[in-house]
Amino acid sequence: MNDKVHAYKDQIGALSDVLPGVVKSYHEFTGECFQPGVIDAKTKQLIALGIGLFANNEVCTFYHVEEARAKGATDQEIMETVAVAGAVGGGHALSQGAMRVQKALH
C-alpha cells in the first residue's frame, strides 16, 4: 500500500520538474480544500476516500485511508465510509438504469 503512495509522490515530484506551476497550484488548491473548516479534516479525508473508491482510484484509496487514520479515523469509520461508497455506487447504477435504460427501451 505505502509503495504505491510513495511511487505516486515520486512521480508528482518528477512532474514538478516539468510543470512546476501546475504542481504547485494543485498542492495549494488541495491543501486549502483539506483544511478544517465547517467540515473537520477527518471527515474531509473520509469523503475523499469514498470518492476515491467510487472512482476506482487505487492510489487515492490508499492515500486517503492513511490520511483519515492520521486525522483520527477509526477502522469502523473507514469501513462505514466503504459501505456508503458502495451504496452510492450501487445507487448510481440503479438510478441510471431506471432513468436512461428505461427511456431507451421506450
pLDDT (tens place) for every residue of the chain, 106 residues total:
688 888 888 888 899 899 999 999 999 999 999 999 999 999 999 999 999 999 999 999 999 999 999 999 999 999 999 999 999 999 988 998 888 888 899 8
- In the chain, what are the domain boundaries? 1-105
- Name the CATH code of domain 1-105 (choices 1.20.1290.10, 1.10.3720.10, 1.25.10.10, 3.40.50.720): 1.20.1290.10
Instruction: Select from 103, 23, 39 the least CA-distant residue to 48.
Output: 39
The reported pTM is 0.85
Show the DSSP H helices in the chain as ranges: 2-18, 20-33, 41-54, 58-70, 75-96, 102-105
CB distance 52 to 61 below 8 Å: yes
